[in-house]
Structure 1
Amino acid sequence: MESWKVNLISVWFGCFFTGLAISQILPFLPLYVSQLGVTSHEALSLWSGLTFSVTFLVSAIVSPMWGSLADRKGRKLMLLRASLGMAIAILLQAFATNVWQLFFLRAVMGLTSGYIPNAMALVASQVPRERSGWALSTLSTAQISGVIGGPLLGGFLADHVGLRAVFFITAVLLTVSFLVTLFLIKEGVRPTVNKADRLSGKAVFATLPYPGLVISLFVTTMVIQLCNGSIGPILALFIKSMSPDSNNIAFLSGMIAAVPGVSALVSAPRLGKLGDRIGTARILIATLGCAVVMFFAMSFVTSPFQLGVLRFMLGFADGAMLPAVQTLLLKYCSDQVTGRIFGYNQSFMYLGNVAGPLMGASVSAIAGFRWVFIATAIVVLINLWQLLVMLRRSRQREARV
């Protein structure tokens, strides 16, 4: 088997364990915060939000640095650093005795992040360019699978073995990811880069044929994550408002939250392969347009079933969006700066993770639940327009050359 195929299979499992490990802690994080002595409703909401978002904020800051180091020292080293670093940070969270310790360790966890973007960059640098869309889309199914399975596994384990034990199990999963990376992934010899030859951030963008388009794709990544996260804070409350007599709101919310991941698993590799044939930009534009329609439609639903159906349909588009952005970034940058570009893109992804829930909570407080869907649709629509403008400009420049 070709080495890039072996690496693709290996990092698939690494990304799956990473997605599983990170997501299985999130559902019960507020419960753990309350176990650490935070009792009042206001303080619990505040500390839950802070401990959740500090990981993404720190990750957004350090991702370009890790991307730069990956270009110089190799991506396998960054995969080993991220998996082992996260395993240690999560293991220590099991021993936290107050909320300040948990907050600090969640920040350290953000500092050690970067497994998935470096896995993407490794595969992108080795796979034949004509198959990059399929390969990156296939790799994205690993994280999607982990994010679907994580909350279910985490909730089950928390009920049966206790909250602290879940941190131990999560650390073991990340150690497995470390061992898979150590023994199975082969990167090959990388050219050494002298300190004098390292590119500054400005010089990185100077090497790009279409820097404006690349920045537009960064913004698109942020918007994709924003629209995924904006519904999170209000989902359970919105479902309860539609079914006030239901006694299984938590189960319904979990199902409706997870259902887009199921359809994304089906669509991601297929749309990635289609993008390799007809053009990745077309797939990205079509899926963003589909998302606009779905979010507008969600603002009119009258039952949880209708919401679940629309979110399932949204998942088909959702599965192709981020891989399409990453494939286009790969197309418009050289191997010399791939790690830096993917690092910047990851920063925008983390910013979207922070901005989405903030927007959703703010809009619902001011205007009501249904306006969250409308506001999200408007944000995606504005992004779609600016992306179309930048793509048209790049095509016009290509035609003139």
Structure 2
Amino acid sequence: MYRVGNFSWKRNLAVLWIGVFFCSTSYSLSIPFMSIFLSDDLGVDSHLEIWSGIAFGISFLASALISPFWGSLSDKYGRKPMLIRSGFSLAALYLVNYFVHDPYVFLVVRVLQGLLAGFVPASIALVATNTPEEKTGYALGVMSTSGAAGSIIGPLIGGVISYYYGNRSAFLFSAAIVLVSAVIATFFVKEQVYDRSATRSRVRDDIREARSNRAFVSLMVLTGISSFSVMILEPLIPIYMLDMGIAKNSASLTSGIVFSSVGIATVLMAPRWGKIGGRKGYGFILFIGLLGGGIGNILQFFVTGYVKFALLRFVYGLFYAGVLPSINAMVVQVTEPGFRGRAFGLNQSVSQLATMAGPILGGLLGAFLPIPVVFVINGLILLTAALFVKRRQLEACVSAARAGETPSSL
């Protein structure tokens, strides 16, 4: 078995998979009932769609602003300290949510969650920099299943806890399981020794270096589009369940089932897409994923029953499972090992900005347009991204970047 330093990369991958699974579960617990929590527990009576969008998005804005700083620290001090910092901080903040009764205080806590987050991107960066290059695509595909598995079980658990024990109890469960992630990171994650005497880079210099890598810039654009596409629907689906005629007291549980359908598809397909990408090229997998995701979103316009809607979301997820693992694998291919922590930090900033903009714009669109129309808009965005990959011949551009060239097509 290939070993990095004095530890097995496969063992490290397994430990980080568990940590990301618990962390992703803790985050996704609140997705099915966020809108209902704002309404029933915090007293938001009007403009619920807008409040839901802001509550989803504001933590991601804070995370986007701080991620390059955390990425710079991770390249100097290592990714493991970032795991420990974010894990224990998030556990404390989820616990605070249990005691919040004012919507504005809730927004403040959401901002703090964004500023102190970073467990998942730090885990991805650690896997990317501590795995043999020929195994990176497979490892990142496996890591994407941990987040997807968390997104499966999280909404289901959140919906059940919200239904039987109340919304606030779900925050207690979130605090407990993200604490498990922090403990796992502290005692079981291994990382190559870092030379901490080196000078820490400045974010401005990191941005300048990233801009000189045109293949990396293209991948960041696609990361933003992909994250925006996922999050634009997050605050709308629970409301859409109510529009379908689902009773309010069971809307959280039904939304959890719908959200989980995409996660189940990702768990099934992401490792397979990773292996196929290693043979056929990650650019090809990226194009197929965006194309299938775009068509799948547009088809959701024609479905009204929640069972058929969940099934279609599952099929959409089978294709979309290949998108983010392919992008992450290509980021590894076009960046130097010493820059990868900062590269993933910058990429995470783009992702978080898009994740912030998605629910806010989704909330605004949902307030003025029928929600099925938003599905069509989302599908067109993904089809445009697929066309971008095809016309830019991104796979060839990545190969050129690896060879140290500057392809004119970029």
1:36–1:99 contact (8 Å) kept in structure 2: no
**Whole-angstrom CA distance in 2 between matches of 1:188 and 1:246:** 50
**Whole-angstrom CA distance in 2 between matches of 1:250 and 1:192:** 47
- Identity among equivalent positions (%) equals 30
Q: Which of 7, 11, 14 does residue 6 from structure 1 map onto?
A: 11
Residue 161 of structure 1 deviates from its aligned partner by 3.7
Residue 114 of structure 1 deviates from its aligned partner by 0.4
Q: What is the RMSD computed on CA atoms of the aligned residues?
A: 2.9
Equivalent residue of 2:302, what SS? coil
**Which residue identity is paired with 1:11?**
L
After superposition, give the CA deviation of every residue in 1:61-85 in whole Å (9 maximum; x if it has no partner).
Answer: 1111111110011100000001011
Matches of residues 190-339 of structure 1 in structure 2 within 5 Å? 190-195=194-199, 198=201, 200-202=203-205, 205-206=208-209, 211-236=213-238, 238=240, 252-301=254-303, 303-339=305-341
After superposition, give the CA deviation of every residue in 1:235-267 in whole Å (9 maximum; x if it has no partner).
Answer: 355566666999976655443332111111100
Q: Show the counterpart of 1:66.
A: 70
**Whole-angstrom CA distance in 1 between matches of 2:169 and 2:310:** 32
Q: Show the counterpart of 2:119.
A: 115
TM-score (norm 1): 0.89
TM-score (norm 2): 0.87
Change (3 A) 1:268 1:238: same
Structure 2: state its 5+ residue gaps. none
2:156–2:260 contact (8 Å) kept in structure 1: no
Q: Does 1:18 find its partner at 2:20?
A: no
Q: Does 1:28 find its partner at 2:33?
A: yes
**Whole-angstrom CA distance in 1 between matches of 2:40 and 2:243:** 29
Q: Show the counterpart of 2:131.
A: 127
1:275–1:283 contact (8 Å) kept in structure 2: yes
After superposition, give the CA deviation of every residue in 1:308-359 in whole Å (9 maximum; x if it has no partner).
Answer: 3322111112222111100000110011111111111111222222222334
**Whole-angstrom CA distance in 1 between matches of 2:121 and 2:311:** 31
Residue 296 of structure 1 deviates from its aligned partner by 2.6
Change (3 A) 1:236 1:198: closer
Moved more, 389-398 or 216-225: 389-398
Q: Show the counterpart of 2:351.
A: 349
Residue 360 of structure 1 deviates from its aligned partner by 3.3
Q: Show the counterpart of 2:83.
A: 79
Q: Show the counterpart of 2:169.
A: 165
Q: Show the counterpart of 1:57.
A: 61
Q: Does 1:388 find its partner at 2:387?
A: no
Residue 101 of structure 1 deviates from its aligned partner by 2.7
The count of aligned residue pairs is 398
**Whole-angstrom CA distance in 1 between matches of 2:304 and 2:162:** 33
Q: Does 1:180 find its partner at 2:184?
A: yes
Residue 274 of structure 1 deviates from its aligned partner by 1.4
Residue 39 of structure 1 deviates from its aligned partner by 4.8
**Which residue identity is paired with 2:310?**
G
**Which residue identity is paired with 1:198?**
S
Change (3 A) 1:31 1:343: same
**Whole-angstrom CA distance in 1 between matches of 2:105 and 2:56:** 14
**Whole-angstrom CA distance in 2 between matches of 1:371 and 1:101:** 33
